[in-house]
Structure 1
Amino acid sequence: MKVKGYSYVVALVAILLDQITKIIIMNRLELYEQIKVIGDFFIITSIRNTGAAFSMLEGKQMFFLIITPIVAAGIVWYIHQQRRSGNVWLLTALGLVLGGALGNFIDRLLYGHVVDFLSFNFGSYSFAVFNIADAAITVGVIMIIIDTLREDRRARAAAKAGRDPEQPKEILHTED
Structure 2
Amino acid sequence: MIYEVIIAILIGLDQLSKYFALNYLKEAGSIPVIQNIFHLTYVENRGAAFGMFQNNQTIFIIVALVASAFGLYYLHKKKINLVGKVGILLIISGAIGNLIDRVRLGFVVDYFDFRIIWEYVFNVADVFVVVGTILLCIHILFFEDKEMVK
1:67-120 deviation digits (Å, cap 9, x = unpaired): 2212211111111123xx362221111110000000000000100000000010
Q: Are 1:58 and 2:54 counterparts?
A: yes
Q: CA deviation at 1:127?
A: 3.6
Q: 1:167 to 1:31 in 2, by over 3 A?
A: closer
Asked which structure has the greater CA Rg, the reply is: 1
Structure 1, unmatched stretches of 5+, are 156-164, 169-176
Q: 1:6 to 1:146 in 2, by over 3 A?
A: farther
> What TM-score do the two structures reach when normalised by structure 1?
0.77
Q: Are 1:138 and 2:130 counterparts?
A: yes
1:133-171 deviation digits (Å, cap 9, x = unpaired): 00000000000111122226xx6xxxxxxxxx5389xxx
2:71–2:88 contact (8 Å) kept in structure 1? yes
1:15–1:99 contact (8 Å) kept in structure 2? yes
Matched residues in 2 for 1:151 and 1:19: separation? 32
Query: How many residues get paired?
Result: 149
1:27-50 deviation digits (Å, cap 9, x = unpaired): 002367111112221110001001
1:49–1:55 contact (8 Å) kept in structure 2? yes
Match of 1:160 in 2: none
Which residue type is aligned with residue 51 of structure 1?
G
Match of 1:166 in 2: 147
Match of 2:66 in 1: 70
| Aligned positions of 1:16-27 closer than 5 A | 16-27=12-23
Identity of aligned residues (%): 34
Match of 1:99 in 2: 93
